[in-house]
Amino acid sequence: MLIWSILISFAVGIIMVPLIRKFAFRINAVDTPRERHKHTKVTATLGGLAIFISFSVGMLLAPIDKSGFVPIYFGALIIIATGFIDDLFDLSPKWKMAGQILAALCVTVWGDITINFINIPFYGQLDFGYFAIPLSIIWIVAIVNALNLIDGLDGLAGGISIIALMTIAGMALLLKDTFVAPVAFILAAAVAAFLIYNFPPASIFMGDTGALFLGYMIAVLSLMGFKNVTFISLLVPLIILGVPLSDTFFAIVRRLKERMPISSADRSHIHHRLMALGFTEKQTVLLIYCMALLFSMTGFVFSFSTTWGAMLLLLLLILSIEIIVEFIGLIGEDYRPILNLLQKIHRKRN
């Protein structure tokens, strides 16, 4: 039964995390406190390796057809290797990107999992043709990096991943998808086991090994679950992953505005800004969890809305994101166009 695969994945994760932590210290795969870091002690990385192993065991025992999983798993091995090497030797961005693209090629070319077309409201079907593979690769790489960028606080990336995976699994069940739902549930169980050790104060980090792997799997599962459908349905995984994708998008905007390299690091991500407002680390993590849950629930409602209803919901969602961005200063403390407009309207009324 599937439930046993899920439980075994969780149980293996509980056992594996302490073992991987000892292994990480032995090979010096550790994160030393630095200026941009919140933790104050040397902490083991490679937690993603425990997630991968427990997920692999769960998948091995899962009573589902795994014939189409081989290209996905091979790509996952490439992603895990990329993250593992980066956690040990700090890979350059170009080599990390090369690993991500190679993994994405396994899925899109070998596995033939691509976005081939979408149906756009008031227009009709738009076929991507030769662009199907490049667009699908961009999709996977974008989500991988979005999750990697938000992995800045204990428990943050893991919790957001669980919320996204459970939402994707729920949507897959409604669509009667007998592959995506079980895989998402098994992976969520593996991440939940890791989160027990990673929730603040963390005794182990997932590292790039985990962040890249989870981003890759979420990207692939969302691609499988919502491909070749309407434009509205294609937006559902983007809404589900609203927190990491928004954070990444506004980080790019912020760096372009300040004329900084896009790949440069800063302390203005969503979790940094919330902590600057006075929230503790745990409060910040839980608050972002709530944001992720709201995005996920919006994704559910969005998928069952009419075209006009979905458009209105999308407009309200964009407006809400903009107000939050201005309030917490995600682009810059001086960027407040809508809030300033609302203040002017309020002053005129009074």
Query: For the stretch 23-34, what's the b/e string if a residue is b when 16 or more beta carbons lie within 10 angstroms of its beta carbon?
Result: ebbeeebbbeee
Residue 303's closest CA among 249, 228, 237, 236?
Answer: 236
Question: CA 302, CA 318: separation in Å to the nearest integer?
Answer: 13
CB-based contacts of 209, cutoff 8 Å, min separation 6: 45, 46, 47, 48, 49, 52, 80, 83, 84, 86, 87
Residue 266 · residue 250 · CB < 8 Å: no
Half-sphere exposure of 327 (CA within 13 A, CB side): 8
Question: CA 69, CA 65: separation in Å to the nearest integer?
Answer: 8
Tokens representing residue 197 in the block: 């050790």
Q: Taking the CB of residue 22, how many other CB atoms lie within 10 A of it?
A: 9
Q: Phi/psi at 82 (nearest 5 deg)? A: -60, -50
Residue 165's closest CA among 216, 203, 228?
Answer: 216
Q: Is 208 labelled a binding residue?
A: yes
Q: Is 148 labelled a binding residue?
A: yes
> Which residues are known binding-site members for Mg(2+)?
148, 208
> Which residues are known binding-site members?
148, 208
